[in-house]
Chains A and B, each alone.
Chain A
Amino acid sequence: MKITKQDLKNISLLSKIKIDEERSASLIEDLESILTMVNKMDELDTSKVNPLTHPIENTQTLREDIEKKDIEREKLQELSKEKDSGFYLTPKVIE
């Protein structure tokens, strides 16, 4: 399977990770080698098989809707470098 420079641009855009020009060639090589291995799947006819998203068929368990205070908001926000009055701060998005 061939990966083009355009594919790399799309992947970079979607994953929000920069791909340096000097890394492009070796990355294409890595990705192509992984996808070639993955293409072995094509040997199998799976047209009559259902996809299995999860190994265990388990009914979603629900708990009583009671408020818990296991994690405090202030403690969570301490983890952010930029915050103010309970809000998280990002660079300006509206001019």
Chain B
Amino acid sequence: MSELINLSLTDQIHGLADKSFSSREIADAYLDEIKKKKSLNCYISVFEEESKENALLADENIAQNKVRPLEGIPIAHKDIFCIKDKKTTCGSKMLSSFISPYSSEVFTKLDNAGAITIGKTNMDEFAMGSSNETSFYGNVLNPINEKLSPGGSSGGSAAAVRANLCSFATATDTGGSIRQPASFCGVTGIKPTYGRVSRWGMIAFASSLDQAGIIAKNAKDAAVALKYMSGFDQKDSTSLNEEVKDFQKEVDADQEHVIGIPKELIENMKNDQVRDSFKNAISILEKDGAKIEEINLPHIEYSLPAYYVIAPAECSANLARYDGIRFGHRSESVSSLEDLYVNSRTEGFGREVKNRIFIGTFCLSTGYYDAFYNKALKIRNLIKRDFDEAFKKVTSIAMPTCSNSSFELGSISDPVEMYEQDIYTIPANLAGLPALSIPSGKVNEMPIGLQLIGNYLDEGKILNLANKFQKLTDFHEFK
């Protein structure tokens, strides 16, 4: 039944509904594939027996016509989402034995929609990384070329979708952690508007930037999955109390598009192949009827420096909770309370997480707060205004997801060079805008992504445009 794992989510939903196959058959096929491809290291936990049992229950529901929207669909959650009574590690030694006492809203919503959680995917430690190499559990391999990085931090989710190890996977994006791995693995990834999806039970990195989203085989699948994970949640004070549009309907609707191209950014790109591929993707959409407008985002080049103040500052505050006392790693070699704090944190966090805590601590300390943190917040405002201005005349903004295709594992040691991976994805996080990445070509025989940024709460618009592109091209097909 291995062909079942090649099917899209929408085809799996139809096949289950008309009883062409059972949920148990799909679950078994994924579990077999997970075993075969264990060396990719996509999963931190796999719930084999439970998935099989839940698949049988789903089949019973289907037999009785009690079908929920995602009934019997095996999915994976990034190991940043808490699931009650399950290990939730966030890719860190700090939480390597943490069994969550409650479930994240993302899990609960998808679980209530009938999805079966087949396992939890590997990730950079506390979502800090762009290559998956900071995970305490070792890096994930890119299924297309195992010498290369799957991207990060949601590398496990992107690789699991690409390798047909789940129907779709949840992921999170603080500065590009959904879109960059989606680009590297040739899959579709969407980060919705900030506040669209509840952050309750999603382990915090930088709270004003973190947003949960989806990695799927294509835009249609992403639209279906996002529909069932979005919505207001009283438990998250930043959750938006706004109606969730029917993305599933919107993705296929007849819509007109005006695409903004930040001309200067494109002309200044260093990689000709990426630029040419981007221009080719835009010309495909233009021929299909989309209008193209040049736009100006004058402050976008300051996104990276502003982000690398704001994100570490928020991270240093959020990760202060790991004190070795209530949960998380507790050092054995302790003779005082100070020792308990210091040794637990020093032993529990990896190098990159420490670096970010150090930067954040420094930027928030006396004498530097205004020069760094406040300055970065002001630049964040300028970047948001640039987008507000651009969206007065366009319905979406297009740019490449990354400046190149995937790189060899272990090849980047300079932190700034690694941070530059997110140079085109960070602006949408600073402004809180929805953004997605779809495969749009190849460079060095590896996929690269086209990034589409939408206006606030306009996920449906960019999903619609992405779906148009995928109807006209086959870059998203796994070959």
Contacts and interface: CB of A to CB of B under 8 A. Distances in A.
B47 to A, nearest CB: 20
Given A41-B302, A41-B305, A52-B380, A34 B325 contact: no
Q: How large is the interface on A (under 10, 10 to 19, 20 to 34, 35 or more residues)?
A: 35 or more
Contacts of B363: 38
Interface in B221-246: 234, 237-241
A17 B342 contact: yes
Interface residues of B, number: 72
A79 interface: yes
A46 B382 contact: yes
Contacts of B237: 60-61
Given A34-B308, A63-B234, A91-B336, A49 B325 contact: no
Contacts of B337: 90-91, 93
Contact of A31 (B241, B336, B359): B359
Contacts of A63: 234
A40 B305 contact: yes
A86 interface: no
Interface string B185-197: 0000000011100
Nearest to B376: A41
Contacts of B415: 30, 33-34
Contacts of A34: 308, 355, 359, 415-416, 419
Interface in B357-380: 357-359, 361-363, 365, 372, 374-380
Nearest to B354: A17
Interface string B302-337: 101110110000001000000101110010001111
Given A55-B384, A58-B195, A37 B234 contact: no
Contacts of A16: 323, 338, 341-342, 345
A6 to B, nearest CB: 12
B339 interface: yes
Interface in A9-27: 10-11, 14-18, 27
B98 A39 contact: no
B357 A17 contact: yes
Contacts of B359: 31, 34-35
Nearest to A74: B101
B414 interface: yes
B240 A71 contact: no
Interface of A: 3, 7, 10-11, 14-18, 27, 30-31, 33-44, 46, 49-56, 58, 60-61, 63, 70-72, 75-76, 78-82, 88, 90-91, 93
Given A33-B415, A63-B234, A81-B330, 12 more contacts: A14-B361, A17-B345, A34-B308, A38-B363, A41-B302, A43-B302, A49-B379, A49-B382, A52-B380, A55-B430, A72-B101, A90-B337
19 contacts: A11-B362, A27-B358, A31-B362, A33-B416, A39-B305, A40-B305, A41-B305, A46-B375, A51-B377, A55-B429, A55-B430, A56-B194, A56-B240, A58-B238, A63-B234, A79-B101, A80-B327, A91-B334, A91-B336
Q: What 9 pairs across the A-B complex have the smallest Cβ distances?
A: A55-B432, A51-B377, A52-B381, A46-B378, A79-B327, A49-B378, A18-B346, A75-B101, A15-B361
